[in-house]
Amino acid sequence: MRIISGIYKGKNIYSVAGFTARPTTDFLKEMLFSTLFSLNPNMKNILDLYAGSGSLGFEAISRGSKYVTFVEMSQKAISTIFANIELLGCHTKCKVLIKKVEVFLTNPPDEKYDLIFADPPYNKDLVNKAIQKIFENDLLSDDGILIVEHSKNEIIDNDYEKYIFKEKQSGGTVFTFLYNKNCHSEERRI
């Protein structure tokens, strides 16, 4: 696994050994980030939920984001995130929270994020629950974007349809882009 653009471009990072999760491929990361940074190039404070190896958060740092909070429960994944922080030397730009995402979202810090990645395990009925808690707790900044990576078999509830402004699919993976409810505007639809 490697960083595909920015200050760490081409740098190989560690993946989680024996992890059952699906790492986001270079192709999907490029598609995701080219879309993201064309929408809002000033995403500074990032939240990476179900972080795994942290590859999406590290890609965001490489592209200019100032700070990433990783939330992950797996000890193997946590060890990998810390190894990647050490490898990239980005200690001052990262916070790692060792807890279940559901627990974090039940009582989150009083903080706003410009970008939230949520990549829950596929087909575990976690996608809509995460979206609900993120919007209930008003975790997105005014121009904030939530990106949910999920299986094409998982359908976003109709309650959140008004927040969706883009979906990208590749094979069995879908990236759904949602924007802050405070910025509901036809100008954001693309």
User: CATH fold of 26-171, please?
Assistant: Rossmann fold (3.40.50)
Report the alpha-carbon distance of residue 24 to residue 42 in Å, rounded. 23
pLDDT in tens, 71-101: 999 999 999 999 999 999 999 999 999 999 9
pLDDT at residue number 37: 62
Helices (H), the chain: 26-39, 55-62, 75-88, 101-106, 127-136
pLDDT in tens, 135-189: 999 999 988 999 999 999 999 999 998 899 889 888 888 999 998 855 544 444 4
The CB density around residue 37, as the number of other CB atoms within 10 Å, is: 18
This prediction's pTM: 0.89
pLDDT in tens, 133-149: 999 999 999 889 999 99
Angle between helical axes of 55-62 and 26-39 (0-180°, round to 10)? 50
pLDDT at residue number 168: 86
Structure tokens at 151: 């299986």
Report the alpha-carbon distance of residue 34 to residue 29 in Å, rounded. 8
pLDDT at residue number 187: 42
pLDDT at residue number 182: 53
Structure tokens at 23: 């790492």
